[in-house]
């Protein structure tokens, strides 16, 4: 992927996600040389015609290094992290502001919570905000609102948030930067694990790769990254997992050099389907379908809506417009979609032919 000829094309979009392990040194303080390097690279991308979104961890870590944060031992763990995030978010943004200003760029803070992705209206409001920031030539710096996000309102991690943002703005590229050089699998001639340069679902399986590979992130961290990367790529955004501390990492990725692990993008999906992909974790209810309907939905040669004739049962309460999960005849989750009817009306149509779709194809997202 080169950067030549960008002036004659639409502006491409890159989402850069940096983890706390990249941004902080061994003492837990912000690693200013690394931050300065990444900001310089993002500035160079801006000059080359890219629109840049930064999803940054580090608020809690920045709070821990604040000299006034030593008397928190009497707080419970949740409250303690909220206090650290509230304090550290200020320090983190001040640092980014100074670094980006050195390159003549303005930043805007965007704090997100999972509720911003739960309904179509919330989602569109969030998207309009980010689109406005980008249109103004400003770099949005995005983080989870750790001050108020707890339990079920929390993202799995900032990898998930970065993936959701990439889908929201139809990004061309998502870079998940951590302290690992890429995804490792198997062993070479010397028995050492090697980096997978390009992910292939036909060749690799997540559980096998994580089990055989080695990573400073541990099993859970790499498993999460792989899941996020694969899902984002299927929605039309190319993804890289790479070491954020490496010189020119972002520039090397954009210039097409062999670095990290690449997840090739599938054909782009519609904005509605990208929203549904972000909403599958907080659906209002569920619909269980029969084997015939399952086969029809999973047939990639057909564009199929979910009709009431293929429905076996409904679960939970939902109203028209809610996101509901789609379960196969064996109970396995296949995807989700936007309900065209309330639960009460849908119940009356179960198994009937000649009815309008319960979920129209345009508002249907399948995980497979």
Taking a C-beta distance cutoff of 8 angstroms, is the pair 294, 261 a contact?
no
Note the pLDDT of residue 190: 45
Q: What is the dihedral of CA 206, 207, 212, 214, to 10 degrees?
A: 70
Residue 216 carries which DSSP code? Answer: T
Instruction: Write out pLDDT tens, residues 63-109.
Output: 776 666 666 667 777 777 778 878 888 888 999 999 999 999 999 99
Pairing status of strand 364-366 against strand 333-338: antiparallel
How far is the C-alpha of 176 from the C-alpha of 267, rounded, in Å? Answer: 20
CATH of segment(s) 10-270: 3.40.1160.10
Note the pLDDT of residue 312: 94
How far is the C-alpha of 359 from the C-alpha of 279, rounded, in Å? Answer: 15
pTM across the whole model: 0.83
Q: For residue 244, what are its two tokens?
A: 């954020």
Taking a C-beta distance cutoff of 8 angstroms, is the pair 204, 191 a contact?
no
CB contact set of 128 (below 8 Å; sequence gap of 6+): none
Q: For residue 147, what are its two tokens?
A: 């001050």
CB contact set of 234 (below 8 Å; sequence gap of 6+): 266
Show me where the domains of the chain are located: 10-270, 283-366
Burial of 7 (0-12, 13-18, 19+ CB in 10 A): exposed
What number of residues does the chain have? 368
Give SS3 for 190.
Answer: coil
Pairing status of strand 238-243 against strand 261-263: antiparallel
Instruction: Write out pLDDT tens, residues 238-283.
Output: 999 999 999 999 999 999 998 999 999 988 788 888 888 877 667 8
DSSP string, 291-316: HHHHHHHH-TTS---B-GGGEEEEES
Question: Across-strand partners of 288?
Answer: 313, 327
Instruction: Write out pLDDT tens, residues 169-212.
Output: 999 999 999 888 888 876 544 445 688 888 887 787 776 676 54
Confidence check: pLDDT of 229 > 80: yes
Give SS3 for 39.
Answer: helix
CATH architecture of the domain 283-366 equals Roll (2.30)
């Amino acid at each position: 992927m080169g950067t030549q000829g960008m002036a004659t094309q639409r502006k491409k979009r890159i989402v850069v996600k940096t983890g706390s392990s990249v941004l902080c040194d061994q003492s837990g303080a912000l690693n200013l040389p690394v931050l300065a390097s990444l900001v310089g690279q993002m500035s160079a991308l801006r000059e080359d015609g890219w629109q840049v979104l930064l999803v940054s961890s580090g608020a809690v870590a920045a709070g821990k290094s604040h000299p006034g944060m030593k008397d928190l031992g009497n707080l419970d763990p949740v409250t303690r992290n909220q206090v650290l995030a509230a304090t550290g978010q200020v320090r983190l943004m001040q640092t980014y502001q100074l670094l980006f200003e050195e390159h003549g760029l303005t930043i805007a803070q965007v704090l997100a919570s999972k509720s911003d992705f739960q309904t179509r209206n919330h989602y569109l409001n969030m998207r309009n905000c980010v689109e406005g920031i980008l249109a103004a030539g400003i770099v949005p710096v995005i983080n989870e609102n750790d001050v108020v996000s707890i339990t079920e309102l929390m993202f799995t991690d900032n990898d998930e948030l970065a993936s959701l943002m990439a889908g929201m703005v139809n990004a061309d590229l998502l870079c998940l930067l951590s302290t690992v050089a890429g995804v490792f699998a198997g062993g070479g001639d010397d028995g050492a694990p090697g980096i997978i340069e390009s992910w292939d679902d036909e060749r690799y399986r997540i559980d096998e790769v994580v089990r055989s590979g080695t990573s400073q992130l541990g099993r859970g961290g790499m498993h999460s990254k792989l899941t996020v990367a694969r899902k984002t790529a299927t929605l039309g955004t190319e993804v890289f997992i790479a070491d954020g501390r490496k010189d020119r990492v972002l520039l090397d990725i954009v210039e097409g050099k062999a670095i990290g692990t690449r997840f090739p993008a599938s054909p782009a999906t519609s904005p509605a389907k990208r929203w549904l992909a972000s909403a599958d974790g907080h659906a209002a209810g569920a619909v269980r379908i029969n084997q015939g309907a399952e086969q029809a939905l999973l047939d990639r040669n057909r564009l199929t809506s979910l009709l009431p004739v293929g429905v076996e049962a409904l679960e939970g309460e939902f109203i028209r417009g809610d996101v509901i999960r789609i379960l196969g005849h064996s109970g396995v989750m296949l995807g989700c979609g936007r309900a065209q009817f309330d639960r009460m009306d849908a119940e009356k149509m179960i198994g009937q032919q000649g009815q309008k779709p319960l979920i129209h194809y345009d508002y249907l997202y399948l995980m497979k």
